Amino acid sequence: MRNHEMALTQVSSSKCAGGFQKVFEHDSTELKCKMKFAVYLPPKAETDKCPVMYWLSGLTCTEQNFITKAGSQLAAAEHGIIIVAPDTSPRGCSIEGEDESWDFGTGAGFYVDALQDPWKGNYRMYSYVSEELPQLINANFPTDPERMSVCGHSMGGHGALICALKNPGKYKAVSAFAPICNPMQCPWGQKAFSGYLGPDRSTWEAYDATVLAASYSGPQLDILIDQGRDDQFLSASQLLPDNLIAVCSEKKIPVVFRLQPGYDHSYFFIYSFINDHIKHHAKYLNA
């Protein structure tokens, strides 16, 4: 693990809520490029090992959006949770077409391991966030590797749900804000999956939370989902939470789904309810 420790470069560090909000850069073996991630170290991390909550961001985001807009640090400090927020895709891989649209390529890795050329060499965000990044974090920070959880927004909500459903028992808690719940059935998901995974739709099923929930058999997973009722992407049939809720209810997977009147898809919505999510995670991480 020492080679991991050599490889981290600190980009920034700011005192925040008694702890430190930091950003690091490293060379990713999965993505074959330099990647940045943010890590919040609560005051407790100075003396004790702490659990880790991974935050997966949505389309167009970098590691910066969550740490500057969500207001998560006070609750993370209170509950003694390290929060890690990676970027949403490889950067600067010189792949033809990577910067052509906002919902595919750069800033839109969709947390899948691509199977198609020219994406499959770099676009391995699923393995990056579920394997490489946790190993890197556990090697370099005062974590308890047994206590990790995952949370995210929109495309990142999809990422959080599939990470938890594909790895029974690995994540102690999962929650999401306005997740893309059934990507096989919505325009965003169909575009991304066609491009990264190819035309064989059976390969898509490995990354669709609604499909994964239907075959989930693992330890009980309590899912918390917040969704803004005035979210433009809800009305545009991109998010499809009802499909996931129906399957979870059939499979008796507990879901608390809160439709929040008046809220949209933005970070103002996340900021409004992030404390509830961190509390939900703390209940399982600190149990």
Digit-coded pLDDT (tens) for 135-178: 999 999 999 999 999 999 999 999 999 999 999 999 999 999 99
Burial class (CB in 10 A: 0-12, 13-18, 19+), 117: exposed
Catalytic residue among 265, 277, 280, 281: 265
Query: Which of 128, 178, 186, 182 lies closest to 157 in space, CA to CA?
Result: 178
**pLDDT tens by residue, 227-274:** 999 999 999 999 999 999 999 999 999 999 999 999 999 999 999 999
Exposed/middle/buried for residue 102 (C-beta within 10 Å: 0-12, 13-18, 19+): exposed
Is residue 265 annotated as part of the catalytic site, yes or no? yes
Of 87, 208, 226, 231, the active-site residue reads 231
Exactly one of 28, 72, 154, 272 is catalytic; which is it?
154
Instruction: Tell me the whole-structure pTM to 2 decimals.
Output: 0.97
Known catalytic residue: 280? no
- Does 208 qualify as catalytic in the annotation? no
